[in-house]
Amino acid sequence: MAGVEVFTVADARYFVGAVASAVTVGRSLPAAGITVLDLRLRPDQRAWLADRYRVVDPPARRHPYAAKSFVALHLDRLDPDGVAVVVDADLVATGPWDDYVASARAGALVAAIDPMADRHFDEWCTLLELPGPLHPRPYVNSGLVFWSIRHHGALLQRWMEVCARLGDAGGAEKFGVPGVFGDQDALNALLMTEFVDTEVDVRPASEVEISKAMHGIRIRDLASFTCTGPDGPLRALHSVVRPKPREPGTAWRVEGAAFARILRAAIGPAVASSPPVGPLAATEVVPWLRPGPVAGLRLAVVLAHARTRHAWGALRRALRTRRSV
């Protein structure tokens, strides 16, 4: 889609996730450009990405949880009437995004509702040096955001400036701490203070799944990465589980069957891709996400183990509840 640029962030650990994200996003926005911020990729990883996408260096040391705001540095090369899309490396596209782009072009900031929809802190104003008071509104996830260059240029610039004040505060995973979610807290703080009048097109959880286990999701067509949830077709899956299903040593802790299967489907063509830089090394990918029948069997075993683990956990919880009655 002309005038659309997608931005994501990756380091050596998130490389495979960034590849899968870029492959699936390319299906949803086939004409969009893709820019990857290099947060210490290995040279071979960077070369693989640079052969296919634009790869840029960070302007300064920045915690990964506050790095996505680098988009503001590239506004001068983007179409003034275009749209910037910020995508997390742990998100895969599973449906069309044309209406999200259209809504952003019309002036709305498009983002999905976060599971912590009521999250807000008055302390954000002090931490991030923002003018008060805070005006609470639905808390959105920064893993998928569509920005109009014309309408949201000032917000993008302020997002980068405010993220610079976070230092290494992000990523501690203490949910009750203001600023712990880095660029996501910074974005929401701005929307609740300086940009309270900005129109936000908040997309529901029925369209963008943000979870760990991702129960109730069915894949409609693995080749096109499309899937449905309990309430209909899904546009994206954002895995917030740790450890990630693409990480070594996680075989018996994998969560999210649909997400894992789409990861494998997206990575497979990359492993088999052609020169000049060459295919993605199979050793870069955990055994259960590689292409081929043996890897497919491994993934089936991994997912069966996950289902058994969840069933056993549910049974134990039911027994505890019964004993307490």
Question: Do both 180 and 34 map to the same domain?
Answer: yes
Q: Which of 203, 230, 256 is the last residue of a domain?
A: 203
Question: Do both 187 and 105 map to the same domain?
Answer: yes
What are the tens digits of pLDDT across the range 30-58?
999 999 999 999 999 999 999 999 999 98
Q: Residue 133's pLDDT is what?
A: 93
**Dihedral angle over CA of 78, 83, 87, 92, nearest 10:** -120
As to burial, measured by CB atoms within 10 angstroms (0-12 exposed, 13-18 middle, 19+ buried), residue 307 is exposed
Question: Do both 215 and 105 map to the same domain?
Answer: no
Task: Name residues whose C-beta falls within 8 Å of residue 164's C-beta, 6 or more positions apart in sequence.
Answer: 60, 62, 66
As to burial, measured by CB atoms within 10 angstroms (0-12 exposed, 13-18 middle, 19+ buried), residue 86 is buried
Give first-to-last CA distance, the chain, whole Å: 58
Q: Which of 203, 226, 250 is the last residue of a domain?
A: 203
Question: Do both 212 and 273 map to the same domain?
Answer: yes
Per the CB < 8 A criterion, the answer to whether 91 and 111 are in contact is no
Per the CB < 8 A criterion, the answer to whether 31 and 1 are in contact is yes
Q: Residue 245's pLDDT is what?
A: 78
Question: Do both 123 and 262 map to the same domain?
Answer: no
Per the CB < 8 A criterion, the answer to whether 84 and 160 are in contact is no
Range of the domain at 118: 4-203
Closest C-alpha among 247, 232, 321 to residue 288: 247
Question: Do both 199 and 214 map to the same domain?
Answer: no
Query: How large is the greatest C-alpha to C-alpha distance in the chain, in angstroms?
Result: 66
What are the φ and ψ backbone dihedral angles of 162, each rounded to 5 degrees?
-70, -40
Q: Which of 174, 203, 232 is the last residue of a domain?
A: 203
Closest C-alpha among 105, 117, 245, 102 to residue 184: 117
Give the pTM: 0.90
Per the CB < 8 A criterion, the answer to whether 14 and 245 are in contact is no
Q: Residue 90's pLDDT is what?
A: 92
Q: Residue 172's pLDDT is what?
A: 47
Domain count for the chain: 2
Question: Do both 56 and 85 map to the same domain?
Answer: yes
Q: Of the ranges 99-113, 174-188, 226-240, which one carries the lowest mean pLDDT score?
A: 174-188
Question: Do both 38 and 111 map to the same domain?
Answer: yes
Q: Which residue has the higher pLDDT, 61 or 304?
A: 304
The 3 state secondary structure assigned to 163-226 is: HCCCCCCCCCCCCCCCCCCHHHHHHHHHHCCCCCCCCEEEECCCCEEEECCCCCCEEEEHHHCE
Q: Residue 244's pLDDT is what?
A: 79
Tokens of 86: 């910020």
Question: Do both 192 and 217 map to the same domain?
Answer: no
Q: Which residue has the higher pLDDT, 249 or 109?
A: 109
The position carrying tokens 């993220």 is 163
Residues 188 and 194: their CA atoms lie apart, in Å, by 10
The position carrying tokens 């990918």 is 285
Question: Do both 189 and 237 map to the same domain?
Answer: no
Residues 203 and 95: their CA atoms lie apart, in Å, by 14
Q: What is the CATH number of the domain that holds 148?
A: 3.90.550.10
What are the φ and ψ backbone dihedral angles of 123, each rounded to 5 degrees?
-65, -15
Q: Residue 296's pLDDT is what?
A: 87
What are the tens digits of pLDDT across the range 65-89?
778 899 999 989 999 999 999 999 9
Question: Do both 33 and 182 map to the same domain?
Answer: yes
Question: Do both 59 and 194 map to the same domain?
Answer: yes
